[in-house]
Structure 1
């Protein structure tokens, strides 16, 4: 069996500075702010607000990075956002505060900024090394919460602890490695738009796995999410898969 290749660390002080800033913002600040928002606002509402980030990314990347602003992409994003709005309305519990709204907007801004930083400054580096360095930096910064973590782990049910470990391994470590690889080869606006599929997938999985039949409004929202995402990213992904491998990031 061949040995795994050694990590290829970034070169240059500017790249390292961006990597540290990105790791702190993405794997520490964003996570803390989003969780704080969901403690003071309905989780569905927080998710809907945070999901304006793909629109911010698409517009900024189109105007500044030269990715372009195809009407199909913008219309697809807006349709998906309308779908997210319907899903949120169907699941809204009435829990809403101004503080939660502000924190959700900050989380959306951090989301957009981190994706744009990664695409512009870090996508030419080794995606696996960059991702793991970012996670490590975020973990080190988050050690300020270690005293509380120790007490909570000691008193928490083992099932909850295992769920937290799962969140760290699958949706964070594995998912962000896949995201980093994809961002090397796809435009930021296009890739971020794919996250608009998540609310629809959640509705379907809750139905299939948990037996939670979605209300009609949520089902309609899921259809809009899927239709909008298909319109936004379908043709671009097909063209991206057909492009020459020596033209990363262009569609």
Structure 2
């Protein structure tokens, strides 16, 4: 019963995370009117880390860092590299395409989990991955070109780095069972430090502290960073890597739809077809988990 409740809670956490992150990409695109990509990312995660440490103090949760090597790798991979490269990719690429390229993460995560964690994908997982791969191919439409090659490359590398961070997080929970909130705070702090170094070295536009920028920063810090990353680590802890990773593909689907409404980036027919395949892939993978609980 407790295991079933934990699984149900993880599924709910995954759903909330998907919605928050989907809109986060719209916010990330909009704030580029007021700040450089690395300045914004460094601010976002520095404030987010401080906020999480305050929460740890208030809740009297453990403050000691988890084992440092895996914590640092996770922070540099899924916080610094994924978020920094993704934000930079948005400076030259459309929101929908950048999100979909970055969310090729599940393909890399399943492979890395197989190699590093011994989580061999089941037949259902492979079917879900295949359907999702077809969907991403339709949405990206490489036969029409991949747009700005720098944006495309950075988005793909960012997705690979997130996959590495997802697997190292899973490994951390399997071996050391750290407090999720403590682990989130420390990996975020290391990631923010990495982003801060990049922000100092890369020339960018001066930050315009407008109400719109402050609102975007607040959404990114409180919801998309502090809350959503904590929920994501809970999902990674309680669900198989393949299920968590492939289910996260719902984020780019929602982001494409939100970009249509907010940014007037209307999906092409091939994108609608691709999103249909992605949903089919999600159902295939989710079906495995539902029967196990």
- Tell me whether the two structures share a fold, i.e. TM-score over 0.5: yes
Q: Which has the larger radius of gyration?
A: 1
* 1:46 lines up with 2:98 in the alignment: yes
Name the CA distance, whole Å, in 1 between partners of 2:238 and 2:158: 25
User: Gapped runs of 5+ residues in structure 2?
Assistant: 1-57
* 1:114 lines up with 2:134 in the alignment: no
Deviations 1:213-238 (A, max 9, x none): 64433322222211111112232244
Aligned to 2:239: 186
Aligned residues: CA RMSD: 3.1
User: Gapped runs of 5+ residues in structure 1?
Assistant: 243-251
Partner SS, residue 120 of structure 2: coil
Q: How does 1:1-251 map to 2 (within 5 A)?
A: 4-7=59-62, 9-10=64-65, 15-89=67-141, 95-97=147-149, 99-122=150-173, 124-144=177-197, 145=199, 152-153=206-207, 155-205=208-258, 214-239=267-292, 242=293
TM-score using structure 1 length: 0.77
Q: How many residues align?
A: 232
- C-alpha displacement at 1:202, in angstroms? 2.6
Q: Does structure 2 conserve the Cα–Cα contact (< 8 Å) formed by 1:54 and 1:112?
A: yes
Name the CA distance, whole Å, in 1 between partners of 2:212 and 2:102: 28
- C-alpha displacement at 1:159, in angstroms? 0.7
- C-alpha displacement at 1:211, in angstroms? 8.3
Q: Does structure 2 conserve the Cα–Cα contact (< 8 Å) formed by 1:42 and 1:93?
A: no
Name the CA distance, whole Å, in 2 between partners of 1:108 and 1:150: 23
- C-alpha displacement at 1:122, in angstroms? 4.0
Q: Does structure 2 conserve the Cα–Cα contact (< 8 Å) formed by 1:190 and 1:236?
A: yes
Name the CA distance, whole Å, in 1 between partners of 2:108 and 2:204: 38
- C-alpha displacement at 1:206, in angstroms? 5.0
